Amino acid sequence: MSDATPKPDLRLALLQGPLVWHDKQANLEYFSQLFKSLNPVDLVLLPEMFNTGFTMDSASQAESEMGITIQWLLQHASDLNVVLCGSLIVKVAEGDYRNRLIWARPDGSFEYYDKRHLFRMAGEHKRFTAGEKQLQVELNGWRIRPLICYDLRFPVWSRDAQDTDLLFYLACWPAARRAAWNRLLPARAIENLCYVAAVNRTGQDNKGHQYAGDSQVLDFMGETLLHAADQQGVFYCSLQAEPLEQFKQRFPAYLDADEFVFEI
């Protein structure tokens, strides 16, 4: 399982803070200010719907597939020489809105992942179209899979114990369910034998929902490497490939995993 050339450490920055309801300018400016003091990193993660807050007003808040926020992500990815990720509402066609995660590269290219599991308790399944495919991307030899918020509750969709080094979630996860957040994230790390990173917001939205933050990074045994609690700002963590590879050689539980086929 070891590569001929060891992977370099993967340097992460998780940006946690409050979001202003339906105010793209204010939210983009907030994160732009945080970028000004950013240390050298490889991958920067922003919360779910970081430009609007978690809203069901898909029609009024949607952008085109190359709208202002995606352009903003690409520009900052280039300026900072990082991969920059956040999710936003994208209009694909009339009546077809996606909660779309953008993987923006510094060279101006990007990939995307559309949220598969839509949070029906908020009516997301009525206002958005679910994604139909997973995304795996590569960064400096690291195999990475991005997911969004409610996806965390579905281990089959999250599972890929052999081919993933880092699994990450961008979220707007309310404080009322923080216990589930803090328990499910270690479970995803343990069962997938990979690192897990998760970014959440803080503050309160216009519906009165409180957000506790709890952005964090865990290792492949579910042990905490970083926990931002309810603080605001930029939080850093560096991941090492060798301990992960060594652990998977010593404890190759993925070899006994059940086979399955997704039916979408």
Average pLDDT over every residue of 232-249: 97
- Quote the percentage of the chain above a pLDDT of 90: 92
Q: Residue 112 in contact with residue 105, Cβ under 8 Å?
A: no
pLDDT above 90 (res 41): yes
Backbone angles phi, psi at 242, to 5 degrees: -60, -45
Lowest mean pLDDT among 1-5, 105-109, 127-131, 240-244: 1-5
Active site residues: 48, 115, 149
Other CB atoms within a 10 A radius of the CB of residue 219 amount to 20
Consecutive H or E run containing 250:
helix 241-250
The pLDDT value given to residue 7: 92
Q: Could you state, in order of their start, the residue ranges of all structural domains in the chain?
A: 10-256
For every residue of 200-252, which 3-state class applies, written as one string? CCEEECCCCCEEECCCEEECCCCCEEEECCCCCEEEEEEECHHHHHHHHHHCC
The pLDDT value given to residue 264: 60
Question: Residue 222's pLDDT band (boundaries 50, 70, 90)?
Answer: very high
For 53, the token pair is 């807050």
The pLDDT value given to residue 260: 73
Contacts of 226 by beta carbon, 8 Å cutoff, 6+ apart: 14, 215, 216, 217, 235, 236, 237
Query: What are the pLDDT digits (tens) for 173-190?
Result: 999 999 999 999 999 999
Dump the DSSP string for 115-154.
Answer: -SS--GGGTHHHHSPPP-----EEETTEEEEEEEGGGGG-
Q: Which residue has the tokens 């923080």?
A: 178
- Considering the entire predicted model, what is its pTM? 0.96
CATH number for 10-256 (one of 3.60.110.10, 3.30.420.40, 3.40.50.1360, 1.20.1050.10): it is 3.60.110.10
What is the distance between the alpha carbons of residues 172 and 212, in angstroms, rounded to a whole number?
A: 10
What is the distance between the alpha carbons of residues 28 and 88, in angstroms, rounded to a whole number?
A: 12
For 217, the token pair is 């990074």
Other CB atoms within a 10 A radius of the CB of residue 24 amount to 18
Q: Please name every residue paired with 93 in a beta bridge, in sequence order, or none if there are none.
A: 96
Closest CA to 71 of 82, 59, 80, 63: 63
Three-state SS at 126: helix
Query: What are the pLDDT digits (tens) for 124-172?
Result: 999 999 999 999 999 999 999 999 999 999 999 999 867 899 999 999 9
R_g of the chain computed on alpha carbons? 17
The pLDDT value given to residue 33: 98
Lowest mean pLDDT among 29-43, 158-172, 229-243: 158-172
Question: Residue 78's pLDDT band (boundaries 50, 70, 90)?
Answer: very high
Q: Which residue has the higher pLDDT, 198 or 263?
A: 198
The pLDDT value given to residue 263: 65
| Residues recorded for the chain | 264
